A and B are shown apart, each in its own frame.
Chain A
Amino acid sequence: MFDHILSILIFFPALAGVFGFMIQKESMRAYGISVAFIEFILSLWLWFAFDSNVSGMQFMEQMALIPSFGISYILGVDGISLFIIILASFFTMIGIASLTETPNEKNMIITLLFLQMTMVGVFAALDAIVFYVFWELSLVPMLYIIGAWGGPLRVYASVKFFLYTFMGSLVMLVGMLFMAYFFYQATGVWSFALLDWYRLILPESFQLWLFAAFFLGFAIKVPMFPFHTWLPYAHGQAPTIGSVILAAILLKMGTYAFIRFSLPLFPDASVFFMYPIAIIAIIMIIYTAMVAYAQKDVKQVVAYSSISHMGVIVLGTFALNVEGISGSIFLMIAHGVVSGALFLLVGVIYDRRHTKMMDQFGGLAHVMPRYATIFGVMLMASVGMPLTINFVGEFLSLLGFYEQSHILTLLAGVAIVVGAIYMLAAYKKMFFGDVTIEENKNLPDVNKRELVALIPLTIITIWLGVYPKPVLEPINNSVEAVVQLMHNKATTEEAKTRIPDLTQGIEITRTAMKEAH
């Protein structure tokens, strides 16, 4: 069964979704939960069977699709993608479990199952074309979720989301075709397989152009400043479940793709573009944090905070060393958990009051103490309190980038200040003070269905903050392989020095310290 576990993980939800059309409306929720639960168990099984000492790809599957052009169906996971896949199946599960009463619940659940297929597909694909197909397919269910269940501006928001990201992806596709063409020129065979591409060393000028093409597709997805404006609309209009999945998983596709494609394929270009991208990341961090502070709608605060955190992830990615990249991957997971939880929490209050405006609240800590507590935990995780999941990622990302630039890290570190400002301000507006508005006086606290989603997230937040090792170790091993690959492929002098060589102990003191423990 392990031979095809990735295919099963990808297509099981889709197949179940097709069967879902035949299920009666009343039992659809139970059906959806059980499918998502099985999928989640399968993904845990994947983790269980995963050998964390191996840095390369595991559970590889291969099947030729169009042999003449070297397009094959290739799947595989390593430490980088493993946890995002688990996260995707986890969020689909708790998303369906905590789904509030929605019109056309059946369609919603089927859409979510299809979405799950595309998400897992993106993170498992090792062929550029398969990757691209899943990447684009993921837009469709999201478009439907925002467009069908969204707020008053849903059509505008969903079309903007779709066209904007689609445009970027097309440029990326062109980049992929060129990449395959270069591969063909160099080797005489067509191949879209990522692992083949890894072996190709391109001259720096080619790298720069291809990097730029890939960058556009990824940057819009992340979203990086100034391509971020689709996100506040999408989040603002999407139903809770849409926002949760969007923030927790879909945004991670962009940063994941940076690590999967941009860094190992174009190491010299990565070094070349490191500073410009770091500056963009810093703009993302500070600028969007300030914009978040100005928001009046709590969901927009969380939406902009996502962009701000994605800035730290991008920064960690372009640290180009093991600490930074591991940190950024860990932060992807952390941010998925925390922002997903925050969107769920916003959904809780929206269900009760049908407004997200912060001036409509105030003093909620009196009436909803449990809600306030969980929100508080997630708030502290979001501002990067140590022993919460976010801190590990943020710390490592910034630590990693510090090796590349001191001043820029100092600027990026402002994240921990500005993050605290908008989050605490929002928390104060919502939860502190007296209850002034009559409707808020009798709000029920979080109910069981909501706790089903929130409590596991809270536990993960603390658990992985205190003991990140089970996740960090496999990530670390795979990242070391990536960094070593980059170092070996680097052609320019600068890239050779910027990207550490892991084969030799860099400094005696460090290894000595490690041995001492």
Chain B
Amino acid sequence: MEKYLYIALFAPLVSSLFSALFTATPKKQFVGIVASLLIFAAFVSSSILLTHIIGGGEVVHVELMTWMATGDLYIPFGFVVDQVSVTMMMVVTLVSTIVHVYSIGYMDHDKGFNRFFAWLSAFVFSMMVLVMSDNFAGLFIGWEGVGLCSWGLIGFWFHKEIATWAANEAFIMNRIADLGMLIGLFLVYWNTGTLQYEGAFAAMPSLDPATLTWIGIFLFIGAMGKSAQFPLHTWLADAMEGPTPVSALIHAATMVTAGVYLVVRSNELYDLIPHVGLFIASLGAFVAMFAASMALVNRDMKRIIAYSTLSQLGYMFVAAGLGAYWVALFHLMAHAFFKALLFLGAGNVMHAMHDELDPFKMGGLKKTMKWTFIMMTLASVALAGIYPLAGFFSKDLILEVAFVEHHYIIYSVLLITAGLTAFYSFRLIALIFHGEERYKLFGIHPHEAYKFMLVAMSPLLLLAIIAGSFKISYFEMVTNVLPELEYHIHHPVTFWIMVIGTQLFVIAAIAFAYKKYANSSVKVPDGTSKMENSIAYKILKNQYYIPYAYEEYLVKPYREISDVFWKQVDLKIVDATVDGIAGIIYSTGEKTRDMQSGNLSTMLKWMVAGTVGLLSLAVVFGLAVRYFDEILAVLSGLGV
């Protein structure tokens, strides 16, 4: 089995290095093909490992070599394939394979074709390191690695100012969170003496709760950055400047779920500190609603999906925070499938519309883009959580968890959010595919994407539909390592009321979205309608003014303080002091040079003066020494 582990881990690296060889040369089709094949190999290996694990096989654990060893610190490159990591591996390799194949078509005309695959495969490698590592340090390698690749991919079109800005924003914001993560790591090390999951978690029950709380908080800060939780969420929407396959892979399916993975991985820790778990859940619920509300009015197709991702991450954190780790992981998996599908569909639309992102400028695309239409609609249905698609099983489960655990506020927030989700998803679908063909006003001639791109997407479609049926077998597998908690609402009436009620509520939201946006009276907004001038709309449109506040109250002051530090403090105070001291010495010399007049007579006078001075000093000191005791007595008499 170790062989497959190595293939799964290193095939993406090989793919990345191979593609990197060609970065300086013009587009080569085979680079994309080879890269896709290698990622596919990783996928196949992961599948084999999955069957091995499902079949009750032993956890595969290898230790490649020592990374850092000093003092008592010992960090190896160790990798483990257990029930949790194999789930992540499957999600990562499956979505990456699809995205790689898809990108061959999507990046067809881009001159950075080869470079794109180098970055994309590097990302997959980092992600694999992240999920497969058997210690916190290895996790951190992957953690930073995905951040780096995300930086390179968001800023892939580096000639665009906004793309590079977004890339830097994402990197720096993640770095803030990484600091928290790093501190968490330090705490783990100094308290448990190791960074290996096994040893660290084993030692944790004996630590005092305050320390555990701090560890939990700091690790979660790291998770907040990667998973774009409030208040570190702004980078995710801006990250949509990157190519769409990147958004599908990194900013929907895999990287952003790393935070959830971390919490799930640390379940033994978070089980010990339920109050932190509750905080995580509350924040998750808040973010779910908060992000959904921003998606309601946005006019950028990709940003809407990004907010939806954010919102679903909130759901996952609710589940993880409440201790239902396997539910979180299950939703993570299901979400990866339909969200990647949604993004790739959006990529098709973008291509068709010549990179137009405003859904109000589209409309009626279902005629020309039949398959994309079907896929995106089904993905949205899955996202909305309609029976029997994937979202129903995973998302409703989270609602049930909140209900069973008696967190009714969280439950109702999530329920409302489910309605909002359905509304904005179908608002998007309605605007893009139904109604008048508004794009004609802008002289765009849409066309369906390449066949193979659609074929590549089809596994995701299939999974988005059927993933729910894995629930039982998945539960059995993953609860080998995760807490085995089943959530049943005991009273069947309550259960059915809840399920049917939720379904009806969601369907009503969908119907409302269709009614409002699928008709022919939808116009491209020009900023004059009543709604657009309402305060609520403006707040939502401007993302609660948070990006503005960050720019105004953090970025600008930082820049200004930096400038002050340089020009006022460093040059005018610190350096000026040094130069001032040098200047004093210099001017003293300048002034006293008159003494050296060259006139023997004056110099002799100075000499005599010096001699007299020194002699008198000698006399004074001599007397002082001789009469030391008397002087002391006199001084003490004076009360000194």
Contact = CB atoms under 8 A, between A and B. Distances in A.
Interface of A: 160, 163-164, 225-226, 228-230, 287, 290-291, 293-295, 321-323, 326-327, 363, 365-366, 369-370, 373, 380, 383, 385-387, 391-392, 395-396, 398-400, 402-403, 406, 409-410, 413-414, 416-417, 420-421, 424-425, 428, 431-434, 466-469, 472-473, 475-476, 479-480, 506-507, 509-511, 513-514, 516-517
Contact of A326 (B71, B74, B145, B172): B71
Contacts of A386: 140-141, 144-145
A60 to B, nearest CB: 25
9 contacts: A164-B578, A225-B574, A226-B574, A293-B558, A322-B72, A409-B186, A420-B171, A468-B67, A469-B69
B377 to A, nearest CB: 38
Given A327-B70, A402-B183, 13 more contacts: A160-B578, A290-B558, A293-B558, A294-B563, A322-B71, A385-B144, A400-B71, A409-B183, A428-B165, A467-B67, A468-B67, A469-B69, A516-B199
A513 B135 CA distance: 13
Interface string B156-193: 00110100110010011001101100110111011011
Interface string B555-584: 000110111011101100011011000100
Interface residues on B, range: 35 or more
Contacts of B183: 402, 406, 409-410, 413
Contacts of A475: 70
B477 to A, nearest CB: 27
Contact of B179 (A383, A396, A417, A431): A417
A291 B575 CA distance: 13
B278 interface: no
A270 to B, nearest CB: 17
By secondary structure, the A interface counts as: helix
Contact of B74 (A322, A421, A428, A513): A513
A398 B178 CA distance: 14
B153 to A, nearest CB: 13
B635 interface: no
A98 B73 CA distance: 39
B24 interface: yes
A327 B69 CA distance: 11
Contacts of A406: 183
Contacts of B63: 517
Interface of B: 23-24, 63, 65-74, 76, 137, 140-141, 144-145, 148, 151, 155, 158-159, 161, 164-165, 168, 171-172, 175-176, 178-179, 182-183, 185-187, 189-190, 192-194, 196, 199, 203, 558-559, 561-563, 565-567, 569-570, 574-575, 577-578, 582
Nearest to A435: B159
A417 B147 CA distance: 13
Contacts of A417: 172, 175-176, 179
A428 B71 contact: no
Contacts, number: 167
Contacts of B193: 507, 509-510, 513
B71 A480 contact: yes
A437 to B, nearest CB: 15
B194 A509 contact: yes
Contacts of A363: 159
Contacts of B23: 369, 373
A396 B196 contact: no
By secondary structure, the B interface counts as: helix
B141 A421 contact: no
A476 B582 CA distance: 42
B148 A416 contact: no
B565 A290 contact: yes
Contact of A392 (B68, B74, B164): B68
Contacts of B187: 402
Nearest to B176: A417
A421 B72 contact: no
B562 A294 contact: yes
Contacts of A295: 566
B145 A387 contact: yes
A473 B69 contact: yes
B72 A514 contact: yes
A373 B158 CA distance: 13
A432 B158 contact: yes
A380 B577 CA distance: 35
Contacts of B159: 363, 366, 432-434
A323 B172 contact: no
A259 to B, nearest CB: 14
Contacts of B168: 424-425, 428
Given A413-B182, A434-B159, A506 B566 contact: no
A469 B66 contact: yes
Contact of B70 (A326, A387, A467): A326
Contacts of B175: 383, 416-417, 420
B148 A385 contact: yes
B575 A229 contact: yes
Contacts of A410: 179, 183
Contacts of A400: 71
User: Which of B67, B171, B187 is the most central at the interface, judged by chain A CB atoms within 10 Å of its CB?
Assistant: B67
A323 B155 CA distance: 36
A391 B70 CA distance: 14
A133 B175 CA distance: 44
Contacts of A416: 175, 178-179, 182
A236 B69 CA distance: 38
A433 B159 CA distance: 4
A370 B159 CA distance: 17
B194 A467 contact: no
